[in-house]
Structure 1
Amino acid sequence: MLALSRRRSYSSRSAQRCWFDDLPEDVLILICSQCRIDEILKLRLTSKKIRNLISQYIATIAPASARSTFPRAQILLKPLEDRSLYTLHWLKGLIPQQLAAILVDRHRFSHEWTPERYGIPAEDDYGNDLRARVTNGFYALRHLSNISQQVYNMDEKDIVERTKTSRARKLIQPSKHDFELFRRREDMILKQRLEYIEGMSCQMARDYKLMFMLLSSVFRTSLSNHGTDYAPWIFDWGCGIDGQRLLRRGNSWLTWFVLHEGPDLFWNQWWSFDPTDHKTSNYIRDRSIESWFGKSKMTPEDFIRQFLPKEWNDINEKWHGVQRDYAFRVQKAMQDKAVSSTYDFTAVNPIMYFTQYVEVRQSREACGAPPIVETLSHVPFHIDFRCPEELFQKFCALREERAFLLPSQPRAESR
């Protein structure tokens, strides 16, 4: 028999669902129209009536929900001439498009010696081509992630054949059984991913590589990232000194993590969660560390004390080694697909788009054109990890040395 508190909880939820379902259709349509995309997708799962109502009135609900989700997006929400095109598929498709807009917009580096800026504002039509390619890259990442999620949601009996030997191993050697189950899942995922890549177009592979090059720059361990506010980079040798390049090539465990989690990682941190909430503003960083340790109770601080960058010691090396190796093979297959026909490095290099945009922006300024409205400045874009202690100390020593030498340098004689 269910506990009384649980029965009351179930009864309360059932009553609320019935009360919501009993509302007039016009009221339900109004409520749905005020919901964000994530909320619409969850509402569809609450009851058959709500799912049917959303499907029936999607041409009205979809554009209203999109405006609630992206209140300042003009290019993304350019009105469609045919209202029948406002579908659930259209609504879901706005997610990778918005991720692309954020990635292209916030990919900016400011230098002291030049006013040039890399990044194309989301409300500038000039970035449409690049955003379209990055969107394609996110679609490919979504597919790779879905493969992984589906396999990990499969029952154990569908992964490992149940025999007397397997049952005995599970009882006598549970750790060995768990690793074998894990390895078989990863084998299945790799096989399906390589088949998917083999069947994709060369252009899609290039769009994926271009997107991933931009995406890798999101992860940072800059010298300014020092102190207890930043969690250490614990995933690879060197504590993140060369993290971005390792991530692109697939030599980093974080590559496996991104391939497994997919675009949802970035959607949650960049747009779905409250950017002012300190609990979620570093969602990707905290989620990756949690996934890295798994069931282990060790903290990042305790882990980082165990080794120097040249003495790497991974507590789950056997498992992480498999994940890192398979992520590398996926990235390598994507690279081979991208170069399987006529290939030009600029086809996968986004910097060309940004350098050309600098000239466009400067010519506009010269003509007195007003600047493009900024709409994404609030996005918690970067995933910041702590700079390695060894590198930080070298930087501090170099800075002190320069400060000491500067006053001793002779001043130029005044003329």
Structure 2
Amino acid sequence: MVRMRHSPDRHSLRISFNDLPDDVLIIVCSQCQLDELLALRLTTFRIRNLIDHHLATIAPAVGRSSLPLAGLLNAPLPNRSCYTIEWLKALIPRQLAAILVDRHRSSVDGTQLRYGIPAEDPFGEELRERVANGWCVLRRLSRISEQVYDLDPRLVLKSSTDLAWKVVNPARFKFELFRQREDLVLTRRLAYVEELPSHLARDYRLMFMLLSSAFRTSVSNYGDDYKPWVFDWGCGIDGQRLLRRGNSWLTWFLLNEGPDLFWQQWQMLPADEPNTKNYIRDRSIETWFGKNKADPEDFIRQFLAKEWEDVNEKWHNIQRDHAQKVHRAMEEKATKGMTDFASTSPIVYFTQYAEVRRQRELSGLPPVAETLSHVPFHIDFRCPEELFQKFCALRQEKASAIANPSTARN
């Protein structure tokens, strides 16, 4: 008589990811993208300890996997002990800096070669390091907001009366909680800026000057394919300057969201997907409308610059005011005791690089490889109607002058 063998329960054969042998886990971790590894490291104590213990093997592999074209960032370190979690995390602001300095060339019409430095050119290391510092400061400012908004309302509101509004008048409670959260965010940010070394404040201003150039309302951005700059009166006229100075609601949005916005659009999302290039634009518009009753699509479809109005003026005025105060404090910190105002401008670096590039060309050296031309760098908004009409008028005048040179001289 044949004895039947008992087949093991399929569920008993399953093992969790955490139970895999170390050598298998090391291989898996080495194949991860940067964001994936940082998230995986937070899952269990065993995974965290394994990653930390084998970082000399895992970190360089993750760097190459995440940034395959970044030769300078992935250059071998002098000692295996230099590969740390901090080194991995620093790849994010360093890559954002490389993109910002490189792609800035496409933000200045007619002077692309002058105002930027390719990501793989060692000449740009000093500027990229300073810009990376600026990204780190922005990340800290955004984390302050995250921390405050994670607090229980009882730790934010100043009195029991404020809490009582939740039952008596929910709308008032909601606004009061928002206002006091934003006040607390501002207080903590100003305290952070006060303790910030002056050179980091200058690096932040340098980074933000470059960053503002990514936001465009150029005359080529005309038509319904482009959404309007709905955040401020003027609809994007002089928007870059307002953004840098903190006078735009969009400044508050960037302070609140931090570098993650740009990491997603410039690095993580598929560059060939149509929606990727509008990721930051659409997120900003969505946040500006919030939970307002106005339908964003209807508002934009019927948008008229002359009839612009804020859909949530009471809240947005607080956000604009606080963003302006943070940037004013940063400016004061950056310029305190400073005699060389060029230290907060990238132009000196770009001018020096233009000469270096010219000398290389004269010497017959090949240009540095371009690795970031695929990045969806710009955040494009519709050209304000007023600017577009002025452009059309000037173009017509120029065409008339060319057609009738004698009339133009008279």
TM-score norm. by structure 1 comes to 0.90
Q: Which residue of 2 aligns with 1:406?
A: 402
CA RMSD of aligned residues (A): 2.3
97, 104, 111: which is aligned to 1:107?
104
CA distance in 1 between counterparts of 2:159 and 2:333 reads 38
Deviates more, 1:355-364 or 1:309-318: 309-318
Q: Does 1:64 align with 2:61?
A: yes
The amino acid that maps onto 1:38 is D
Quote the Cα distance in structure 1 between the aligned partners of 2:243 and 2:33. Answer: 32
Which residue of 1 is the match for residue 247 of structure 2? 251
Residues 39-93 of structure 1, C-alpha deviations (whole Å, 9 max, x = no match):
1011123333222221221221111000101111111112112111111111001
- Tell me the distance in 2 between the aligned counterparts of 1:17 and 1:268: 35
Counterpart contact for 1:307–1:313, Cα < 8 Å: no
Name 2:382's counterpart in structure 1.
386
Q: Deviations over 1:103-150 (max 9, x none)?
A: 111111587876853110011111011011111111111111111111
Tell me the matched-pair count.
397
Q: Partner of 1:5 in structure 2?
A: none
Structure 1 stretch displaced more, 52-61 or 135-144: 52-61
Could you tell me which residue of structure 2 aligns to residue 328 of structure 1? 324
Q: 1:336-370, CA deviations, whole angstroms, 9 ceiling, x for partnerless residues?
A: 11111133210101111111111110111111000
Does residue 276 of structure 2 align to residue 280 of structure 1?
A: yes
Q: 2:126 aligns with which of 117, 126, 129?
A: 129
Task: Report if aligned partners of 2:30, 2:62 keep a CA contact under 8 Å in 1.
Answer: yes
Q: In structure 2, do the counterparts of structure 1 residues 280 and 206 end up closer, same or farther at CA, with 3 Å as the change threshold?
A: same
> Which AA in structure 2 matches 1:193?
R
TM value normalised by structure 2: 0.91
Cα displacement string for residues 354-399 of structure 1 (whole angstroms, at most 9, x for unaligned residues): 1111111011111100000011111111100111123223323443
Distance 1:68 1:170 in 2: 50
The more displaced of 309-318 and 278-287 is 309-318
- Identify which of 30, 39, 55 aligns with 1:33: 30
CA contact (8 A) 2:266 2:376 kept: yes
What is residue 19 of structure 2 aligned with on the other side?
22
1:292-349 Cα offsets, whole Å, 9 max, x none, are 0101253445335777545542120110000000000000001111111133210101
- 2:167 alignment partner, one of 168, 171, 174: 171
Match of 1:52 among 36, 40, 49: 49
Going from structure 1 to structure 2, the CA distance change for 1:191 and 1:394 (only over 3 Å counts) comes to: same
Counterpart secondary structure, 1:144: helix
Distance in 1 separating the partners of 2:38 and 2:233: 40
**Residue in structure 2 matching 1:185, options 175, 181, 186:** 181
The alpha-carbon deviation at position 191 of structure 1 amounts to 0.8
1:126-275 aligned within 5 A: 126-161=123-158, 163=160, 165-275=161-271
Report the 3-state secondary structure (helix = DSSP H, G, I; strand = E; otherwise coil) of the residue aligned with 1:227.
Answer: coil
Which deviates more, 165-174 or 320-329? Answer: 165-174
- Give the drift of 1:201: 1.1
Q: Per-residue CA shift, 1:268-291, capped at 9, x if unaligned?
A: 111011111123331111111111
Task: Decide whether the 8 Å contact of 2:217 with 2:380 is kept in 1.
Answer: yes
- Name 1:353's counterpart in structure 2: 349
Residues 55 and 110 (structure 1), Cα distance of their counterparts in 2 relative to 1, 3 Å cut: closer
Paired with 2:395 and 2:368, the residues of 1 have a C-alpha distance of: 38
- C-alpha distance in structure 1 between counterparts of 2:145 and 2:163, whole Å: 25
**Taking structure 1 as reference, are residues 321 and 112 closer, same or farther at Cα in structure 2, changes over 3 Å only?**
closer
Distance in 1 between residues matched to 2:108 and 2:209, nearest whole Å: 20
Say if 1:257 and 1:16 are closer, same or farther in 2 by CA, change over 3 A.
farther
2:338 is aligned to 342
Q: Once structures 1 and 2 are overlaid, which stretch shifts more, 359-368 or 225-234?
A: 225-234
2:392 maps to 1:396: yes
Cα separation, 1, equivalents of 2:77 and 2:243: 38
Partner-residue secondary structure (3-state), 2:276? coil
Can you give the 5+ residue segments of structure 1 that lack an aligned partner in the other structure?
1-13
Residues 358, 33 of structure 1: CA spacing in aligned structure 2 closer, same or farther, 3 A cutoff?
same
Distance of 2:183 and 2:109 partners within structure 1: 48
Q: Distance in 2 between matches of 1:112 and 1:177?
A: 49
The 1-side partners of 2:180 and 2:12 are apart by 44
Structure 2 distance, partners of 1:154, 1:171, is 20
Whole-angstrom distance in 2 between the partners of 1:341 and 1:116? 34
Deviation at 1:228, TM superposition (A): 2.3
Tell whether the 8 Å contact from 1:240 to 1:387 is kept in structure 2 after alignment: yes
Structure-2 change in CA distance of 1:239 and 1:112 (3 Å): closer
Moved more, 189-198 or 104-113: 104-113
Paired position in structure 1 for 2:116: 119
Q: Give the aligned partner of residue 317 of structure 1.
A: 313
Q: Which runs of 5+ in 2 are unaligned?
A: 1-10
What is the distance in 2 between the residues matched to 1:54 and 1:98?
22
Aligned to 1:98: 95
In the alignment, which residue of structure 2 is the partner of 1:7?
Answer: none
CA distance in 1, matches of 2:57, 2:324: 45
